[in-house]
Amino acid sequence: MTRGRRGTAAAAAATPQEVAEVLQRYEDLPKAVVFDADYTLWPFWCEMFAPSDTPWLYPDVPPILDGLRQAGCKLALASRTPTPHVASAFLDKLGLRQRFHSIQLIPAANGYDQHSAQKDKTHFPAIQRELGIDYTEMLFYDDEHPNIRRVSTLGVCSILVDTATGVDLAALKQGLEAYTKARQAAS
Ligand SMILES: [Mg+2]
């Protein structure tokens, strides 16, 4: 996997203009972009926190979410956190709830539970139902290999996120590039 160009916490966030320039390069944007939460949008496991704590995002996440929305993409969240009440509180505190068109906080028994609430069996069918968008018109970001592997089998273009950077400008480009290639190969 390509590593993000930013590895340090001190790096400046991408500007809205940088995000817009990347998005303008692609004619065929995904109709929906789906994000994992822990180590994809924010750099921690939210189960380590309480709802009263103050969360923070990876630096490029806000301009990327805004840019995708402005470009007409629907946004969805797919999380297996064992503490959905913490994730839910953090979505509100970060002003993210109103940015997403579908929010699936469906817990697993724990991070190693390979039987309950898998994203390909539970989260994505719910997102597909709520948004009415085909799996082949979605782009998905997650930091865990098993999720990428499972969701890929649905036909969703799935990108492994570097936990040092979360979803950043490099990951956005990588995802749009992979999505474009997958669509061209299918047509
Ligand atoms: Mg994660």
Has residue 3 been placed in a domain? no
User: What is the Å distance from ligand 1's center to 187 Cα?
Assistant: 32
pLDDT of residue 68: 98
Identify the CATH number of the domain in which residue 26 sits.
3.40.50.1000
Has residue 95 been placed in a domain? yes
Phi, psi of 148 (to 5 degrees): -60, -45
Averages of pLDDT over runs of 10 residues in the chain (187 residues) are 45 92 96 98 96 97 98 97 95 97 85 73 95 98 95 97 97 98 92
Q: Which residues are catalytic?
A: 36, 38
Closest-CA residue to 169 (of 10, 23, 54, 1)? 23
User: What is the Å distance from ligand 1's center to 32 Cα?
Assistant: 19
Has residue 10 been placed in a domain? no
- Spatial distance between the Cα atoms of 80 and 165, rounded to a whole number of angstroms: 20
pLDDT of residue 180: 97
User: What is the Å distance from ligand 1's center to 21 Cα?
Assistant: 27
Which residues of the chain form beta strands (DSSP E)? Answer: 32-35, 74-79, 102-105, 138-142, 157-160
Give whole-number Cα distances, 10 to 23, 48, 58, 164, 170, in Å.
25, 23, 11, 12, 17
Range of the domain at 88: 16-186
**How far does the chain reach from its first CA to its final CA, in angstroms?**
25
SS3 49: coil
pLDDT of residue 89: 98
Q: Please tell me the pTM assigned to this model.
A: 0.91
Has residue 100 been placed in a domain? yes
pLDDT of residue 5: 47
User: What is the Å distance from ligand 1's center to 141 Cα?
Assistant: 9
β-strand 74-79 against 102-105: which pairing, if any? parallel
Instruction: Copy the structure tokens of residue 112.
Output: 């190693």
Has residue 145 been placed in a domain? yes
- Spatial distance between the Cα atoms of 108 and 83, rounded to a whole number of angstroms: 9
Has residue 7 been placed in a domain? no
pLDDT of residue 7: 47
Has residue 150 been placed in a domain? yes
Sign of the Cα pseudo-torsion (74, 119, 19, 97, in order): positive
pLDDT of residue 2: 40
How many domains, in total, are found in the chain? 1
